[in-house]
Amino acid sequence: MKTLTIGQHVLPNRAVLAPMSGVTDLPFRKLAARYGAGMVVSEMVASESFVKGDAETQMRAEAQNGGLHVVQLAGREARWMGEAAKVIADMGADVIDINMGCPAKKVTSGYSGSALMRNLDHALTLIEATVEAVDVPVTVKMRLGWDDRSLNAAELARRAESAGVQLITVHGRTRCQFYKGTADWCAIGDVKRAISLPLIANGDCKSIEDAEAMLEASSADGVMIGRGAYGRPWLPGHVGHYLATGEKLSPPSGHELADLVSEHYESILGHYGQFAGVRIARKHLGWYLDEACLLGGDQMPGAERKALMTSNQPSEILRLASDWFSASKDRVAA
């Protein structure tokens, strides 16, 4: 069986949950880890804000108490990256990941995320500062380049390896593509051939079949699942299980799915408080509903869906969700 390693750490399987701002918070990571994801990664943590004590930023770096504790750092100054990495490692993080792939304008306009791929010399100062600050493995997540005229992921990966990075993840798009078109898995293979480090391929992996095709096209050592996990926190674990055993697991349905949705909802409220939590949970409820339809179920009637998605009363939301998802298996079977 092929394995995926990060320094001294051997992952239980080769499917990883991607870091996604506003999605892979502590409640979501706990679920994905419990369903067997080989590794889960925190939301992007702004290094300067973290060091300066911003409570919301610090909350993003909390451990999920299951599997490796991996925190993704973003920033544009070596000083803050090194200081944040040291504090986070001292708090128990097992791996520090550096974000050089986020395409969001609010990130790149601050010369962070994928904007760092426009100046590799500067990007290396951040990598070097982070590696020097900690004893835990440091990894880097990047895109293919800023645009089609600057496909420099292989060069950045080579230089990152020389600086002491121990794993590379590549999203198969440029920054200027954002999430349009399709990820170029073959281009990720060019990065793999340029380095001796383990490499994880990312972009458009939404199923077991996608994972197999991605690994074949890219020659990567593992797969990272991002948007494909919306409404499916079990997907990375199921993909990882298949890659390790060849066995396909059935997605949760019926009472199991209802219990999962209810647990996730209550965990969000516990994490953020009721006022913010009921609003943050709505996108997840919508994704769960959409996923249930894709599995062959009926759409929730409009009036019920509106009530589920707009109510501020947790008891009403939990009742509606429990009733609907508990019957999901029966509706698919019918």
Active site residues: 102
Q: What is the number of other CB atoms lying within 10 angstroms of the CB of residue 176?
A: 15
Give the count of alpha carbons within 13 A of 299, CB side only.
5
Element (H, E) at 17: strand 15-17
| CB distance 308 to 317 below 8 Å | yes
Evaluate whether 323 touches 330 at the Cβ level (below 8 Å).
no
Which contiguous run of DSSP H or E holds residue 242? helix 235-245
Closest-CA residue to 265 (of 278, 256, 247): 278
Element (H, E) at 263: helix 254-272
Distance CA 66, CA 130 (A): 24
CA–CA distances in Å: residue 35 to residues 28, 59, 170, 250, 289: 11, 23, 24, 12, 19
Using an 8 Å Cβ cutoff, are 218 and 185 in contact? yes
| Cβ count within 10 A of residue 177 | 19
Two tokens, residue 242: 């298949």
Q: Which helix (DSSP H) or strand (DSSP E) does residue 6 occupy?
A: strand 5-6
Q: Pick the closest to residue 44 from 91, 107, 1 (CA basis).
A: 107
* 241/225 Cα distance (integer angstroms): 14
Give the Cα separation of 219 and 225 in Å (integer): 16
